[in-house]
Amino acid sequence: MKYRDFERILLANGFEFVRQKGSHRHFRGYPGGKMALVTLSSPGGDDIRPGTLKSMIRQSELPERLFQSR
């Protein structure tokens, strides 16, 4: 999965861009009424490494099925 695809999923599920520092973009959302913060740490065109992807999905507190390839 690419970083820009992950960002699109976040935005489609109610997350909003909060700030950016260098290449780190921070998003905030309220899945299930609880605040979640997610940091994307790479330019949009790169693939996300599997361990990093799993960590970002955990941070988002969104169902993993939303991030599965179609």
Q: What pLDDT score does 18 carry? A: 96
| Residue scoring higher pLDDT (43 or 20) | 20
Instruction: Say how far apart CA 61 and CA 31 lie, in whole Å.
Output: 7
The CATH-assigned architecture of domain 3-62 is 2-Layer Sandwich (3.30)
Give the model confidence (pLDDT) of 29-69 as tens digits.
999 899 999 999 877 678 998 999 999 999 999 999 999 86
Judge whether 3 and 43 are in contact, CB under 8 Å: yes
pLDDT of residue 44: 65
pLDDT at 69: 66
